[in-house]
Amino acid sequence: MKTKISIFLLVAFATSVLAFSHFSSPGVPEPWTTQQLLNPADLAKTLNNPSAPQPIVYSVGMQAIIKNSIEIGPAMMKENLNSLKSKLEKLPKNSNIVIYCGCCPFERCPNVRPAMELLKTMQFTNYKLLNLPQNIKVDWIDHGYPLSE
């Protein structure tokens, strides 16, 4: 129990420190390019068409809300990032991969950057970040896009 509480404290502390400091510092380039931002409408269209080639979609946030997505857990936590890493190690470098979190606006999200940095470091060539600039509610659920059961 004590460990759990101290983990929570650590996470809360790290979130606040990170959220209010270097997250989207001006001048520091984001670990993704504009071309790597995937339009939610495009992903929704693909997910709604089972005959289309499907990407592997990882939730690196609180909950795998998007249909057929795989829950990793918050990527800001090392254990979750390691679990993502071990899943990625089994995939070809040109796999079609989509990352999303959707808890908060990008500038405050503690999870998307570690995940995108990992994919970059592992030299994947075909990965995207789902463009949820506000959050998963406003940019996905409110549009009626497909949800997990």
CB atoms within 10 A of CB 51: 5
From 29-37, 81-89, 98-106, 122-130, give the range in contact with another protein by CB under 8 A.
Answer: 98-106
Choosing from 57, 74, 143, 145, the residue that interacts with another protein (CB under 8 A) is: 74
Sign of the Cα torsion 24, 28, 31, 37 reads: positive
Question: Does the protein bind another protein through residue 35 (CB under 8 A)?
Answer: no
Least distance (Å) from another protein to the CB of residue 99?
A: 17
Q: In Å, how far from its chain's centre is CA 58?
A: 6
From 37-45, 83-91, 99-107, 120-128, give the range in contact with another protein by CB under 8 A.
Answer: 99-107
Question: Does the protein bind another protein through residue 135 (CB under 8 A)?
Answer: yes
Q: Which CB atom, from 1 or from 28, has the smaller least distance to another protein?
A: 1
Per the listing, tokens 């659920």 go with 141
Burial of 31 (0-12, 13-18, 19+ CB in 10 A): middle
Angle at 49 between CA 38 and CA 63, to 5 degrees: 55
Q: Which residues bind another protein (CB under 8 A)?
A: 4-5, 8-9, 12, 15-16, 18-20, 61-63, 65, 74, 102-105, 108, 110, 134-138, 141-142, 147
